[in-house]
Structure 1
Amino acid sequence: MDALKRDLPNFPDEVSTDWLLPYAKSEGWPPLEDEDGMPMKRWRYLLGMRPLRFYRSLSWTLENRSLVPDTLADGEVGKINGLLRAGLLGEQNEYSAISNSRERLTSILQYTLAHGRLPKAPALIQEASGLRIMDGNHRIAVYVYLTGFGGHFTPQYPLEPRQDFWIATPAATGS
């Protein structure tokens, strides 16, 4: 954790601990970078094909808000729908390869129904097209399932749509 805090001092402890620390333990920290500063190996995908300098530029806020499809970045709604279809319905798709997906969804669902809130705040990054999920895909999938996602379907167990989310905003770039 000390190395993460040193390299990403702008990250809230909760985001570092929940998102990056498990991978830092399994993949090593800091990530190896290529000549362009892009993370290599598994880190390239875990960090969304962005260099560490991008992550150092982020400002984080914990927001109590709702999510609806229009607030998410391009492709995120399809990703969440695919995750739900694979995990809850057993559909074979690109998310079927996540071996413990059903168990994770079930565990998060049980916790959320018992406590009325997600177990931890997912982490998202504000992009031009909307919010990109960086950590918490399964939590957001349960959120979508329980809230009806802005009226796109009828939820089985209604949940208060306002939940805590970590939202990162990149530093403004000069023109």
Structure 2
Amino acid sequence: MYCKCGCLIDADKAFDEMPVKDVVNTAALITSYSQNNHPKEALELLPKMLVLGLKHNEFTFACLLKATGSAASVGIGEQIHALSVKYSCNLNVFVGSSLLDMYARFGKMDEPCFVFDWLDSKNEISWNALIAGYARKEEGEKALKMLTVLRFMPMGEEYPNGKASSL
């Protein structure tokens, strides 16, 4: 309830006083911090989760990566990416889309292409994240090329040559 109202101090206090913490209430707090422009606080919950022995899931990684994209350093995002690989969550389309967005925000366009190529499935969100990354990097020609491919390609089909970097 505190999270939805943006009362992050109260949400954090309620979280600290919870007798049992789980992946759901931790992910809710991470999401709240991330959505309210407090990426540092969101990312500080990751070590707490590890200490508590909470198992990460796709939703947790997507939320952490969103926070990382707003933080100052790509290094933390790379560590979370490695952790998502360890937990076999990196090929999930939501985690993958968050990875695309995070790397693109730091202008590292080779990584989003690699992530995109390896996603189990691609959807409008993953395509949009990659296209937006190119646009942010002022590579409008590549963004338009991908948008054209997406527009004329039935969803579920692979794109030309099987690699985003080939476009």
Q: TM-score, normalised by structure 2?
A: 0.27
Which has the bigger relative contact order, CA under 8 A and spacing at least 6?
1
